[in-house]
Each structure stands twice: as structure tokens, then as C-alpha cells.
Amino acid sequence: MTQPPKQVKEEKDPALDVSLLERSQLRRHLRQQRGAIEVATKQAWDEAIAARLRAVLLEKRPNHLAVYWPIQSEPALLPCFADLYQQGIALALPIVVAKGQALKFVAWTPGQSMENDAYGIPMPLERETEITPDCILAPCVGFNKANYRLGYGGGFYDRTLALHPEVYSIGIAYELNQSSFALDQYDIALDLILTEASAYSQQDHIESQTRPD
């Protein structure tokens, strides 16, 4: 007897139901998908994210904005960061202190001399000035409809946000990184997630949950 085809909702590859994957498999899948974006498409998406981010931050005007140096086909926003710096927003980059610890942040001026950390991520050569950011950009491997984030699995951003609950957190992702996954007890929802197509606000989510209709 022939089986009817398995129904897989909103999934491009019918052999793979993302909602059933473990977090580690899901990370691999999402990283692969992100790595397969065509160069010209990625550039256009990065520009769209940059435009959204610029508008949000010039309105919000954080005192110290923690950015990131793009790795592994994360949205590449270095020109946007340089522009924000020109507009008077002080920047910082994350530093991995050790596995199992929160990130620390050091002041960063675009164009400053850099060296690679243990993961091969560029960090400022001069790391004397430690910063406590009031706004943190967190690149996402995945994110879900309630603004929870999936990263590379080190727990670095979750530990950092747990330590600084007052910080305004902005996830940066592509639409194709939206997914569903089981939450970990330490996962912290981000205040805002920006993609090339949308801005997802945690506040909207809370309000829509509490609205009577």
C-alpha cells in the first residue's frame, strides 16, 4: 500500500521538518541555509537590515552600542556600524573571556588595528577600555516567533543578557533563520529582532498576548 505524502507545513525541503530537529541539528541546518544565500541577494538583504538598524538606533541613540564582527555569513553590517560611529554612537565589540562565562565588551573604533581571538574572530588589538553597553546587537543563527534566539551554542549572549537585564537587545537575522525550537531554561527573549523584511518587537508580542481579542 502506498503511504500518502507526509504533510510538512511551511517547509521548503519536504524531507526535513525543522520543527522536529534538535537544537544542534537545527543550528547546522540554519547555518547551511544562511551560507547558501547568493552573494547579490545577501548584499541586498544586508543593506535592508542596515537601513532598519540605522533608523532604530538613530532614534534610540544608545550611549554604548555593542556590535559584532561578522563571521560565517552572518549579516555583514560593518559599513552601517562605521556610519553609526560617525553619527556619534560609541561602539564596542564582544570578547569571549572563557567558555561558560558572559561576554565582555571593549571599545571599538572602526578602522582600529585588530587581531584574531581563539575562534578566529577579529577583536581590537587594544582592549584596555571595558564597556558596559546599554544596547547589544546579537547575531542569530535562528530565532522564533516569541523573539527567542539560537546562537552557536556557547550560551554567551544568554549569560550576558542575564547579567545585564536592563540592556536593550537587538537580534540580527535573515527571515530564513526564523524557526521553531524547544526553549532552554536560560534562553532570554530579545527586545527586537531585525531582518531584511521585518522588525519583530518583544513588546508587540507581549501586547498581542494580553490583548482581550
Ligand X SMILES: Nc1nc2c(c(=O)[nH]1)N(C=O)[C@@H](CNc1ccc(C(=O)N[C@@H](CCC(=O)O)C(=O)O)cc1)CN2
Q: Which residues form the interface with ligand X (CB under 6 A)?
A: 68-71, 74, 94, 96, 103, 119, 121, 139, 151-152, 154, 156-157
Q: What is the CA radius of gyration of the chain?
A: 18
Among 84, 106, 108, 158, binds ligand ATP (CB under 6 A): 158
Using the minimum distance from each CB to ligand ATP, give the nearer residue, 63 or 72.
72
Using the minimum distance from each CB to ligand X, give the nearer residue, 1 or 118.
118
Number of residues lying near ligand ATP (CB under 6 A) = 15
With CA atoms as reference, report the closest residue to 158 among 103, 206, 91, 94. Answer: 103
70 binds ligand ATP (CB under 6 A): no
155 binds ligand ATP (CB under 6 A): yes
Cβ atoms of residues 81 and 122 within 8 Å: no
Q: Say how far apart CA 131 and CA 65 lie, in whole Å.
A: 9
Residue 167's binding partner out of ligand ATP, ligand X, none, with CB under 5 to 8 Å set by partner kind: none
187 binds ligand ATP (CB under 6 A): yes
The number of C-alpha atoms within 13 Å of 48 and in the hemisphere containing its C-beta is 15
Please report how close the Cβ of residue 209 comes to ligand X at its closest, in angstroms.
28
Using the minimum distance from each CB to ligand ATP, give the nearer residue, 110 or 151.
151
What SS3 state is found at 102? coil
Q: Say how far apart CA 142 and CA 152 lie, in whole Å.
A: 9
> Footprint of ligand ATP on this chain (CB under 6 A)?
23, 150-159, 162, 184, 186-187
